[in-house]
Amino acid sequence: MLWFNFDVRAFAGGYDFQVIGGAEDIAWILYYSDVPQNCVGGFNAGLSGDCSQLTYYTCGTNFTGWAAQSFNTPIFDKTTNLYLLVWDQGFSKGDVPSDNFSINFKARFGCGENCAMYTNGAPVLTCNPDGSYKVLINVVGTSTTVNVTAPGSTSIVTVPNPLTFTDLDPGPPANVNAGTVTVTYPAGVDYNITLDATGNGPNCGNIIV
């Protein structure tokens, strides 16, 4: 059996990996640590996260290329510490171990290269003195510009404007991965707000609030 420990940055949203065994009949299980930890590896040697507190995420067998859809991070705004267990299904108890268990492991898109967009918490409603009301939505994302439509509203304000989220390249310019949408409605009009993220990625699309 082989264990791989690798990380995905906070705000990345998704990532890809593959395990190719060639002639080996391999299987794998993917876990993530319940105790996210930053800045491990490179100059800070050791395992990331807490390997004694793992949550099962998914499993599979030999890849023939990249997965059809990226894997999602469990918490968008926190680092994900992943543990991948790989084994040879053709190996049986009593077999003599050999060194021909060889696989190719690759990972990509852990730095927010894919479009992703989520709301962060429930909308916050505030009444105005003139009887109108405001709806505040916290939004997080990477590699996308979000278009906002709100039929019946009198005002739409986004911060930043336009509501564009960057990838996680250390820059410059500085990364922007969180923002707000504030929509004003007249009294008696129910809010109906659509956030439309542009770009490519499994978490890129419409959110209706």
pLDDT band at residue 148, thresholds of 50, 70 and 90?
Answer: very high
- Separation CA 197–CA 14 (nearest Å): 15
The larger pLDDT score, comparing residue 128 to residue 101, is at 128
- Separation CA 193–CA 181 (nearest Å): 10
- The 10s digit of each residue's pLDDT in 67-106 is 766 788 888 888 899 999 998 887 765 555 555 667 788 8
Distance of CA 116 to the CA centre of its chain: 7
- Separation CA 166–CA 76 (nearest Å): 14
115 close to 167: Cβ distance less than 8 angstroms: no
**CA angle 158-164-166, nearest 5°?**
140
Nearby residues of 38 by Cβ (< 8 Å), 6 or more positions away: 10, 79
Distance of CA 80 to the CA centre of its chain: 9
